[in-house]
Amino acid sequence: MELRMVVCVKQVPDPDGPPSSFQVNQETKRVTPQGIPPVISPFDENALEAALRIKEAVGGYITLLSLGRGFSKAVFLKAMATGADRLLLVEGNSLDPQALDSWSTARLLAAAIKRDGPYQLILTGRQAADTNAGQVGLGIAQLLGIPSISLAQKVEVVEGGLRVERVLPDGYEIVESPLPALVTVSHEVGELRYPPLPAIKAARSLPQDSLRLEDLGVNLLGNLLQLTRLAPPSRERTCVLMEGESPEEAAEKLALRLLEDKVL
Amino acid sequence: MGEERATLVLAEVTSSKNITGHTLELMGLGAKLAEQDQGRLRALVMGSGVGMAADELARHGAEKVYVADHPSLQSYHPELHLMVLKNLLAKEPFSILLAGHTSMAQDLLPRLAFQEGCGLVTDCVGVDMDVSSGQLLFHKPIFGGNAIASFAIKSLPRMVTVRARVGEPPEPSLSPGEIIYLEMGDPVETKMRITGRVAEERQVRLEEAPVVVSGGRGMGGPEGFQLLNQLAEVLGGAVGASRPPCDAGWVPSTSQVGITGKVVAPNLYIAVAISGASQHLSGMVESKKIVAINKDPEAYIFKVADYGLVGDWQEALPVFTSKLKECLQERG
Ligand SMILES: Cc1cc2nc3c(=O)[nH]c(=O)nc-3n(C[C@H](O)[C@H](O)[C@H](O)COP(=O)(O)OP(=O)(O)OC[C@H]3O[C@@H](n4cnc5c(N)ncnc54)[C@H](O)[C@@H]3O)c2cc1C
């Protein structure tokens, strides 16, 4: 039987943008990106790369699933062109990523997966680059009642199920699980391959489906967290710059200054 | 909350079976939060042979310590540890569940939260009480640290994973709390199996080092890190890195400092050839003193540093290291 995989991907403002491109509005409690493009959240790209490698190794069919609003066609075409087979979008005005918490997001995604399935393998990034919460992947698995493994640095489909290398603070562990299962993927897996230009054009003709909130059933919107305040980070300090004729001279001054100030 | 509900700290133990420093900080934080809930603080410790850790918890403010002691809990297993917590929550109502933002809790708490239908705030960098609403607010970085969000949690228990150094270790209590061993039942069949572990040895743990010397993409290769090793050795510190050197394999991936790596707050953090991306800053910005060495005077890292040196590390580092070595030797 063909291995059916779904990779959950989220569109976010490019997290590599400089600090000035994330405008924090305390009034509306929203972050407004300035002059940075939308991208697929990087760990979700890693998840897609993991799926592509599995497809190369044992075959399979990859559905990309995204939930949100204001989708950029170009972003998804490029992701599809790396070797995915189908796009499934859950789009709606009420599906504002900055207004949904992990609980709502995972419930919606789990409902979409259940409706669209069955799937043998669900892949997500370890955490989204905007919320940095790291809950949705494990949450989906819990809601669907399937095993899940977090922080994968390598994912293989083997006889009888999955073999995953899971990142630990001082190394990794090997976890084996039957399918169906969910894996959250870390960047150690490797970057998403770059699609050739013709593939991006060809991706337009790949199957694409969409679901609306109404299709997923009612009462899925209901946050457990309430955002009460949003503030810019207070991280800036006053920096004493070491002057010198040369870097060597400045380095010597820096050493002496650290000792003088009893930093060392 | 008028109801009788306690705050529960999820304790973790070191390889020598003591409670971790991070757990002690949670006990301090938990005691403060519990004051608003009739002052009842409890703790749960899971593991194999964790009696000593339980005693420590009982002597550090826990009114009750729940102990799940079983060989199968020796190292973390998602299904087994989840089951212990689930069973405990079914018996006892809690108002808050505090865990560290550790490898274990990052995996366990989302599972528990979704199992119980509870709200969870991960990677929390501060907690305080909003006086006007009487709500507890949990602060966490979002957008890679470019904004700090404050959340109230509408469900009970409020679940949270907290970074190191948010709480302060409490004074030992005069009368130790009660220790309750949880019924463990028969071993269960798990779906997932952990079949191997590969760990590297580190002389100084990054998170505990008093000085951290980190290199970035601008180090250009593994050779540059030799100089950082020498500097770290002189200062009795550990070597860290931003993400690119880890991705490139110049240093082990376990050296990564940042929002998806280690969070450190040493007395001194030296950032060499690191530009200061938010995701990196998130992991080191709480350091007592920060030194930046970068050839680009516009690099954002200088905005968060206490001391800066604009220049090429290849020229600056050898002198910096030998001068420090000389002076520190003189001082003895
Ligand atoms: C979701 C997500 C999570 C992430 N998590 C992390 C994380 O946990 N930790 C992390 O570090 N990053 C993380 N990143 C990556 C992060 O966004 C940055 O890309 C990364 O931190 C940049 O590393 P850098 O400063 O070393 O490299 P660069 O930004 O390329 O900076 C290199 C610096 O070196 C300087 N330089 C070059 N040559 C020299 C020289 N000879 N002498 C002196 N200076 C020199 C340059 O002026 C420049 O400032 C994450 C990114 C995303 C999207």
What was the pLDDT predicted at A219?
78
Q: What is the pLDDT of residues B134-187, one digit of tens each?
A: 899 999 999 999 999 999 999 999 999 999 989 999 999 889 999 999 998 887
Check pocket membership of B283 for ligand 1, CB cut-off 6 A: yes
What was the pLDDT predicted at B323?
97
pLDDT higher than 90, residue B201:
no
What was the pLDDT predicted at B331?
87
Q: Which residues pair with B7 in a beta bridge?
A: B41, B96
Check pocket membership of A191 for ligand 1, CB cut-off 6 A: no
Q: How many CB atoms lie within 10 A of CB A30?
A: 15
- Please report, rounded to a whole number, the percentage of residues in chain B having pLDDT higher than 70: 98
What was the pLDDT predicted at A218?
61
Q: Looking at mean pLDDT, say which of B35-49, B195-209, B314-328 comes out highest.
A: B314-328
Greatest Cα pair distance in chain B: 64
- Please report, rounded to a whole number, the percentage of residues in chain B having pLDDT higher than 90: 89
For all residues of chain B together, what is the average pLDDT? 95
**Taking the CA atoms of chain A, what radius of gyration do you get in angstroms?**
22
pLDDT higher than 80, residue B190:
yes
Strand residue runs (E) in A14-158: 22-25, 30-33, 38-40, 61-68, 86-91, 121-125, 148-158
CB pairs below 8 Å between A and B: how many? 257
Range name among A120-129, A140-149, B194-203, B278-287 with the lowest pLDDT average:
B194-203
Check pocket membership of B29 for ligand 1, CB cut-off 6 A: no
Please report the ipTM that was assigned to this predicted complex: 0.96
Give the integer Cα–Cα distance in Å for B168 and B137: 18
How sure is the predictor about B1, in pLDDT bands with cuts at 50, 70 and 90?
A: very low
Nearest CA in chain B to A110: B114
What was the pLDDT predicted at B134?
85
CA nearest ligand 1 atom 47, residue: B296
Distance from CA of B249 to the nearest CA of A (A): 10
> Are the Cβ atoms of B152 and A228 closer than 8 angstroms?
yes
Give the integer Cα–Cα distance in Å for B94 and B7: 6
Give the closest residue to A44 by CA, choosing from A68, A84, A8.
Answer: A8
Mark B124-160 as b/e (b = at least 16 C-beta within 10 Å). bbebeeeeeeebbbbbbbbbbbbbbbbbbbbebbbbb
Cβ B274 vs Cβ B292: under 8 Å = yes
> Are the Cβ atoms of A252 and B317 closer than 8 angstroms?
no
State if pTM tops 0.90.
Answer: yes
* Nearest-CB residue to A170 (from B145, B200, B324): B200
Peptide bond into A118 cis (omega under 30): yes
How would you write the pLDDT of chain A (264 residues) with one tens digit per residue? 799 999 999 999 999 999 999 999 999 999 999 999 999 999 999 999 999 999 999 999 999 999 999 999 999 999 999 999 999 999 999 999 999 999 999 999 999 999 999 999 999 999 999 999 999 999 999 999 999 999 999 999 999 899 999 999 999 999 999 999 999 999 999 999 999 999 999 999 999 999 999 999 767 779 999 999 999 999 999 999 999 999 999 999 999 999 999 999
Give the integer Cα–Cα distance in Å for A130 and B270: 28
Q: What is the pLDDT of residues B69-111, one digit of tens each?
A: 999 999 999 999 999 999 999 999 999 999 999 999 999 999 9
Q: Which residues pair with A125 in a beta bridge?
A: A185
Check pocket membership of B23 for ligand 1, CB cut-off 6 A: no
What was the pLDDT predicted at A163?
98
Check pocket membership of B228 for ligand 1, CB cut-off 6 A: no
pLDDT higher than 90, residue B200:
no
Chain A window 41-70: which residues touch B at a Cβ cutoff of 8 Å? none
> Are the Cβ atoms of B141 and A233 closer than 8 angstroms?
yes
Give the integer Cα–Cα distance in Å for B130 and B134: 5
Q: What is the mean pLDDT of residues B45-61?
A: 97
* Nearest-CB residue to B151 (from A135, A228, A256): A228
What was the pLDDT predicted at B3?
53
Q: What is the pLDDT of residues B139-154, one digit of tens each?
A: 999 999 999 999 999 9
What was the pLDDT predicted at B43?
98
Phi, psi of B56 (to 5 degrees): -60, -45
How sure is the predictor about B2, in pLDDT bands with cuts at 50, 70 and 90?
A: very low
What was the pLDDT predicted at B243?
97
What was the pLDDT predicted at B187?
78
Give the integer Cα–Cα distance in Å for B63 and A64: 50
